[in-house]
């Protein structure tokens, strides 16, 4: 939908719509419960005004469990975003110190419990769990395990390439898969063929998804070629985790910028 200046000015003409837009610009995407709490509005009143903003093409909505999250429309023009930045803050900084995007989870919704499995729990499942924790924050609980865990823990090259993205895997042990982990999980993700074939029967209600990811530790070549293989694996797993969160309608936590490979 093409946003016209008339639609945009109409949106800013209502104080609740104006404050909601500014708050989403600052903190979004935000759940209905957080918008009502922060803006001091009732949920029916807020939902009515957000429906108007959605119809006019200023915001997009997505469902996560029983809750609706709102974010600025991806097609919102740059000029409209610049005007929103000139509006007064929806919540003064001094009164909002405890609020952070990582905590934008409705307290009535339990975190999603993800279990990543591979053969040795030394590389691919460790990288996947690192990405899921970093991108999911408090929306997810994450564990990883191996069918035959490696006695030395995480592969040093896996630690190195993840540090390049600001994610520290050092010191994490390789954990053996057991029944309690399968009972704990909501979703089991196997990241190698051996783990997929050897995965025990899952308890009722626990889902499984397989990601066929090649083992970078089996690459033969120069040190640089092996390191590049680990980087490719790291980046492939990042894309898969981001895709999983999109499919599950889980908003991601922004990561700090890193300049290292």
Kind and range of the H or E run holding 211: none
What string of DSSP letters covers 42-61? -HHHHHHHHHHHHHTTSEEE
* Catalytic-role residue among 31, 33, 118, 123: 118
User: Dihedral (C-alpha) 165, 166, 170, 174: value to the nearest 10 degrees?
Assistant: -60
Backbone φ and ψ of 150, nearest 5°: -75, 135
Q: Respond yes or no: is residue 31 known to be catalytic.
A: no
Residue 78: CB partners within 8 Å, gap ≥ 6? Answer: none
From residue 68, give the alpha-carbon distance in Å to each of 5, 50, 64, 81, 242: 27, 11, 6, 22, 20
* Catalytic-role residue among 31, 33, 123, 192: 192
Q: Respond yes or no: is residue 118 known to be catalytic.
A: yes
Q: What is the SS3 string spanning 65-110? A: CCEEEEEECCCCCHHHHHHHHCCCCCCCHHHCCCCCHHHCCCCCCC
- Bridge partner list, 112: 140
End-to-end CA distance of the chain: 38
Backbone φ and ψ of 37, nearest 5°: -65, -45
User: Which residues are known to be catalytic?
Assistant: 118, 192, 199
């Amino acid at each position: 939908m093409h946003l016209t200046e008339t639609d945009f000015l109409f949106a800013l003409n209502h104080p609740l719509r104006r404050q909601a837009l500014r708050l989403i610009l600052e903190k979004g995407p935000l759940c209905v419960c957080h918008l009502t709490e922060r803006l001091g509005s009732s949920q029916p009143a807020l939902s009515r005004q957000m429906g108007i903003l959605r119809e006019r093409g200023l915001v997009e909505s997505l469902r996560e469990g029983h809750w609706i999250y709102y974010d600025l429309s991806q097609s919102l023009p740059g000029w409209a975003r610049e005007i929103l930045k000139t509006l007064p803050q929806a919540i003064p900084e001094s009164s909002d110190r405890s609020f952070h995007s990582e905590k934008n989870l409705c307290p009535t919704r339990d975190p999603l419990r993800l279990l990543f499995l591979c053969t040795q729990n030394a590389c691919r499942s460790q990288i996947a769990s690192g990405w899921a924790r970093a991108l999911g924050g408090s929306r997810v609980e994450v564990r990883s395990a191996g069918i035959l865990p490696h006695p030395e823990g995480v592969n040093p090259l896996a630690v190195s390439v993840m540090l390049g993205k600001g994610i520290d895997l050092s010191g994490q042990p390789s954990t053996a898969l057991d029944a309690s982990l399968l009972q704990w999980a909501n979703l089991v993700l196997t990241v190698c063929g051996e783990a997929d074939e050897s995965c025990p029967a899952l308890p009722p209600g626990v889902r499984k998804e397989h990601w066929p990811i090649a083992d970078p530790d089996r690459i033969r070549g120069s040190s640089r070629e092996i390191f590049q293989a680990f980087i490719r694996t790291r980046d492939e797993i990042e894309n898969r985790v981001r895709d999983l969160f999109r499919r599950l309608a889980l908003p991601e936590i922004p990561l700090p910028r890193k300049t290292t490979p």
